[in-house]
Amino acid sequence: MPHPIGLFHLSGEAARLAVAPPWVIPVGLLLFAGILVIASRTGGEGG
Protein backbone atom coordinates (compact mmCIF):
# COMPACT_ATOMS: atom_id res chain seq x y z
CA MET A 1 0.00 0.00 0.00
CA PRO A 2 1.64 3.26 -1.14
CA HIS A 3 2.21 6.00 1.37
CA PRO A 4 -0.01 9.04 0.59
CA ILE A 5 2.15 11.93 -0.60
CA GLY A 6 -0.20 14.48 0.95
CA LEU A 7 0.25 13.03 4.44
CA PHE A 8 4.01 12.84 3.94
CA HIS A 9 4.08 16.49 2.87
CA LEU A 10 1.97 17.54 5.87
CA SER A 11 4.19 15.63 8.29
CA GLY A 12 7.24 17.28 6.69
CA GLU A 13 5.68 20.72 7.11
CA ALA A 14 4.80 19.93 10.73
CA ALA A 15 8.39 18.83 11.42
CA ARG A 16 9.69 22.02 9.79
CA LEU A 17 7.37 24.15 11.94
CA ALA A 18 8.37 22.25 15.08
CA VAL A 19 12.01 23.30 14.62
CA ALA A 20 11.21 26.81 13.35
CA PRO A 21 12.68 29.83 15.17
CA PRO A 22 10.26 31.71 17.48
CA TRP A 23 9.82 34.70 15.17
CA VAL A 24 8.22 32.55 12.47
CA ILE A 25 4.93 32.25 14.37
CA PRO A 26 4.05 35.99 14.71
CA VAL A 27 5.30 36.68 11.18
CA GLY A 28 3.14 33.85 9.85
CA LEU A 29 0.13 35.13 11.76
CA LEU A 30 0.67 38.65 10.39
CA LEU A 31 0.94 37.31 6.84
CA PHE A 32 -2.19 35.20 7.34
CA ALA A 33 -4.11 38.19 8.72
CA GLY A 34 -2.94 40.35 5.82
CA ILE A 35 -4.08 37.75 3.30
CA LEU A 36 -7.49 37.54 5.01
CA VAL A 37 -7.86 41.35 4.97
CA ILE A 38 -6.93 41.57 1.29
CA ALA A 39 -9.29 38.72 0.41
CA SER A 40 -12.15 40.30 2.36
CA ARG A 41 -11.53 43.69 0.72
CA THR A 42 -11.45 42.29 -2.82
CA GLY A 43 -14.49 40.13 -2.05
CA GLY A 44 -16.37 43.10 -0.60
CA GLU A 45 -15.65 45.17 -3.71
CA GLY A 46 -17.02 42.38 -5.90
CA GLY A 47 -13.68 41.87 -7.64
* Helix/strand/coil for 3: coil
How many domains does the structure of the chain reveal?
1
Domain that holds residue 47: 22-47
Please report the pLDDT score of residue 15 as a whole number.
Answer: 77
End-to-end, the C-alpha distance of the chain in Å comes to 45
Instruction: Please check whether residue 7 lies inside any domain of the structure.
Output: no
Does any domain span residue 12? no
Length of the chain: 47
| Residue 1: C-alpha distances to residues 11, 12, 45 (Å) | 18, 20, 48
Inter-residue contact 27 to 20 (CB < 8 Å): no
32 lies in some domain? yes
Task: Give pTM, 2 decimals.
Answer: 0.44
Mind listing the pLDDT tens digit of every residue in the chain (47 residues)?
Answer: 556 666 777 777 777 777 777 888 889 899 999 999 998 988 766 55
Question: Is residue 26 domain-resident?
Answer: yes
